[in-house]
Amino acid sequence: MQVPAALAPVVDLVFPPRCPLCGAALAAQDGLCAACWGDLRIPGEPSCTSCQRPFAEGAAQGLVCAPCLADPPRHDGIAAGTLYTAESRKLVLAFKHGHRIALAPMLSRLIAARLPDRVEGGWLFIPVPLHRWRIWQRGYNQAALLAGELARLRGGELVVDGLLRAKRTPSLGGLGKAARARALSGAIATNPARVGAIKGARVVLVDDVLTSGATSDACVSALKRAGAAEVVVACFARVLDEAL
């Protein structure tokens, strides 16, 4: 995904570096302008010890948020590079539907900065799967591109086909919790050829956006059933309107 150093001057001449959000001139291809960097909302501390949901400034450390208390998650933490705002949405749409796959390294660096320190070497990086028809239509799985970059940054192993999407699912937007569970029932499973690698492994499950968490929950459940010892969910943008 990275442009070789020897080719960078040629690429910059043909395609002058521009901020993917506002179009301002940049010194290098891989980044945002200073103003747009400032517009991104990076989740910070204090946060929930279970899911890293940001708390209001001044909250005590070591607290668990109300949603996690009411329904303890099966995952072992969430690492979100940004909160879902108009700016992060524009980056996601450009990356996911605009074929701007060159954004993958920058988005992945933001995710990597939020991963727990223990995620270092020896972890498996597994993307949330797309159905084969969706991959053929789009040409790539954006989560797999992010997972590959994260594996490179953290010295882990990319297992691009660790999970399979056995059936197409409708959009989950607007559906209640029960309806989302029905739509995803039987849709995601571990790849039988990868169960041996997953059993006992520590896994980073990678996606571009985390919304309701229904899809990631289905993936985490499949990985835990296959014997994964630990599953951390990593995404570029997390929808948490109450945190904005």
- Check: CB of residue 203 under 8 Å from CB of residue 228: yes
50 pLDDT above the threshold of 80: yes
Decide: residue 110, CB within 10 A, 0-12 exposed, 13-18 middle, 19+ buried: middle
Kindly give, in sequence order, each residue whose CB lies less than 8 Å from that of residue 175, ignoring residues fewer than 6 positions away.
183
3 pLDDT above the threshold of 60: no
- Check: CB of residue 51 under 8 Å from CB of residue 78: yes
Q: How far apart are CA 107 and CA 82, in angstroms?
A: 9
pLDDT in tens, 84-138: 999 999 999 999 988 899 999 999 999 999 999 999 889 999 999 998 888 888 8
Q: How far apart are CA 227 and CA 189, in angstroms?
A: 13
Question: What residue has token string 């882990």?
Answer: 156
58 pLDDT above the threshold of 60: yes
- Check: CB of residue 50 under 8 Å from CB of residue 232: no
Question: Stretch 235-242: mean pLDDT, rounded?
Answer: 89
- Check: CB of residue 163 under 8 Å from CB of residue 188: yes
Residue 155 CB-half CA count within 13 A: 6
Each domain of the chain, given as residue ranges in start order, spans 1-39, 45-243
137 phi and psi angles, rounded to 5 deg = -70, -45
Q: How far apart are CA 226 and CA 38, in angstroms?
A: 41
pLDDT for position 56: 86
Residue type, 237: A
- Check: CB of residue 206 under 8 Å from CB of residue 223: no
242 pLDDT above the threshold of 90: no
pTM, entire model: 0.89
CATH number of 45-243: 3.40.50.2020
**Structural tokens at position 236:** 């570029």
pLDDT in tens, 174-193: 666 677 777 788 889 999 99
